[in-house]
Structure 1
């Protein structure tokens, strides 16, 4: 039972990743450009990792998300 509760914390991170993967695959197939698959997979993976680290209470999770956000925007 405890193992189920531990994984339940990370559902939001998993759903965020799956949302970006859905967008990535849809755009890749619709447009025929591999860039969409790589770009949206990268963004979704980094955001999911950052939110999972934040959920786990890791000290530098917010720094990771901030650096990723700055790099993505610029």
Structure 2
């Protein structure tokens, strides 16, 4: 998930990230265009389920890259 602030994500993206794609979505940074503080605030307000947030932010990448 990069390129936009989460407040602009389509509702369908959030819906699928919360269900079918929860293990396949990764965070991507747009720093310095979007600061980490702003992105995180918008992410928390965008409708993602609390239980999928750690996967999107870190756990899915750790698993994909074999770091865990």
Give TM-score, length-normalised by structure 1. Answer: 0.27
Give TM-score, length-normalised by structure 2. Answer: 0.29
More helix, by proportion: 1
Which structure has the greater CA radius of gyration? 1
